[in-house]
Amino acid sequence: MSKVKVENLTKIFGRNPKGVLKKVKDGISKDKLLAETGHTVGVNNVSFEVYEGETFAIMGLSGSGKSTLIRCLNLLNKPTTGKIIVDGKNIVDYSNKELKQFRKNKVAMVFQHFGLFTHRTVIGNIEYGLEIKGISKKERNKIATEILSSVGLEGWEDKYPNELSGGMQQRVGLARALANDPDILLMDEPFSALDPLIRREMQLELIEIQSKLKKTIIFITHDINEAFKLGDRVAVMKDGIIEQIATPEEILTSPASDYIREFVKDIDKTRVLQAKHIMFKPSALVTPRDGPKVAVKEMQKNGISSLFVVNHERILQGLVTIDDTINAIKENQSLTDILIHDYHTTGPETYIKDLIPNAGSTKYPIAVINENNKLLGIIVRVSVLSSLV
């Protein structure tokens, strides 16, 4: 379900943004507009949708308009034209009072340089949103303390932000945003100011928090790896325009422009592609009720030397090899007698990089199964190993 829907959003900075709107629509270049009229185009006719519970990453280099765009979503920037529909209501039309309510209840923001109130303690910062909402002192202290421990900041309540390291400051920033229990979390390059190790830690923590809370997250970054790691879908921005919106795999496999192709060139595919992207539907399967002869015939037909055995609900039972099956025919055994289990299984969302050691150590295909042991597909070793090059 669509939570946020942006339609033809344009944001122009300058003395008379509406006046130059027509020129922008006619496709004047950014530089020319600046030279002629002194106006800057931040965001140019952007449309996209963000679904409920999704992490939507907006990726772009500096000056691409991504920060301008995210500030439009809580109207810190007033759009020049366009609609922003949240839960069916166009927030651009909101009155001052409605806007305040919207900001208090529906949306919270995390900032690149944290934006913490240096005159307030950690707990005071986290309580800020609740204070504005008019929640009683006791209640907000209780909520803030809970959130504080959920981001691992126990014992730091009464410190001032500047006494904390960068990583911890951003935890406070995140906690402050979460304390308000917003539906939508806007994150403006939240981890860019952190050093790489802390950044990775924070990314994992965000993934963990998100798996619990299921917020709708709009995440800005200039780092394509980060966008691919965190984003369910990724929008790539350039010069105020969205060049492509797609899942990381789609962007990786079919980039929409040379610009994006250039970007994804250096991406480590094994960190983006998952088991489900490279598995294929097994063309041959047998059930235990089928005799060994059927199994041999299947293997012969498909030119393979082993076969997965599933029951009629496609629950994985085991694997038979050609040698064992021929033996079984001779000795009149059934398939259940010769099942072997020393193959690897994996979930559909495992990253390929985690499959590489497995693929190297087995001679059988890897079975992709869901949590009920149902066989979803198989991955042959060659497709894992070939993605390395």
Partner 1 sequence: MIIPTLQKVGIITLHACEVKKNTMSSFPDSISFKVGIYVNSLVNWLLHNVSRLFEAISEVSIWILLKIEIFLYWLPWWFFLLIIFLIGWKAKNIVSGLIFAFLIFLIGMFGLWDLMILTLGMVLTSVIISLVIGIPIGILMSYSSKVNNIFKPLLDAMQTMPSFVYLIPAVMLFRLGKVPAVFATIIYALPPVIRLTDLGIRQVHREMLEAAHSFGSSSWQTLLKVQMPQALPTIMTGINQTTMMALAMVVIASMVGAPGLGMEVMIAVSQLDIARGFEAGISIVFLAVIIDRLFQGVAERFKYPE
Write out the binding residues for partner 1, residues 133-152 only, by CB under 8 A.
133
Q: What CA–CA distance (Å, rounded) separates 58 from 75?
A: 17
Selected range binding partner 1 among 28-36, 128-136, 320-328, 356-364, rule: CB under 8 A: 128-136
Site for partner 1 contains 166 (CB under 8 A): no
Q: Residues 108, 144, 316, 375: which binds partner 1 (CB under 8 A)? A: 108
Q: Residues 21, 28, 34, 76: which binds partner 1 (CB under 8 A)? A: 76
Q: Residues 29, 90, 101, 305: which binds partner 1 (CB under 8 A)? A: 101
Write out the binding residues for partner 1, residues 329-368 only, by CB under 8 A.
none
Site for partner 1 contains 314 (CB under 8 A): no
Q: Which is nearer to partner 1, 5 or 133 (CB)?
A: 133
Task: Provide the minimum distance between the beta carbon of 114 and partner 1 in the complex, in angstroms, as a whole number.
Answer: 7
Q: Which is nearer to partner 1, 76 or 256 (CB)?
A: 76
Q: Which is nearer to partner 1, 115 or 291 (CB)?
A: 115
Task: Provide the minimum distance between the beta carbon of 380 and partner 1 in the complex, in angstroms, as a whole number.
Answer: 50
Q: How far is CA 12 from CA 41, 67, 316, in A?
A: 4, 13, 58
Task: Provide the minimum distance between the beta carbon of 242 and partner 1 in the complex, in angstroms, as a whole number.
Answer: 23
Selected range binding partner 1 among 49-57, 104-112, 253-261, 373-381, rule: CB under 8 A: 104-112
Site for partner 1 contains 221 (CB under 8 A): no
Site for partner 1 contains 14 (CB under 8 A): no
- Asked if 112 contacts 193 with a C-beta cutoff of 8 angstroms, the reply is yes
Q: Residues 132, 315, 329, 382: which binds partner 1 (CB under 8 A)? A: 132
Binding mask 229-268 for partner 1 (x = CB under 8 A): ----------------------------------------
Q: Which is nearer to partner 1, 126 or 375 (CB)?
A: 126
Site for partner 1 contains 71 (CB under 8 A): yes
The CA-based dihedral angle spanning residues 112, 114, 115, 118, taken in that order and rounded to the nearest 10 degrees: -150
Other CB atoms within 10 A of residue 245 CB: 19
Q: Which is nearer to partner 1, 180 or 216 (CB)?
A: 180
Q: How far is CA 344 from CA 38, 128, 275, 338, 380, in A?
A: 62, 51, 12, 17, 11
Task: Provide the minimum distance between the beta carbon of 284 and partner 1 in the complex, in angstroms, as a whole number.
Answer: 57
Selected range binding partner 1 among 97-105, 147-155, 274-282, 286-294, rule: CB under 8 A: 97-105
Site for partner 1 contains 51 (CB under 8 A): no
Q: Residues 119, 138, 281, 312: which binds partner 1 (CB under 8 A)? A: 119
Site for partner 1 contains 128 (CB under 8 A): yes
The residues binding partner 1 (CB under 8 A) are 71, 74, 76, 99-104, 107-109, 111-120, 128-129, 131-133, 160, 162-163, 176, 180, 186
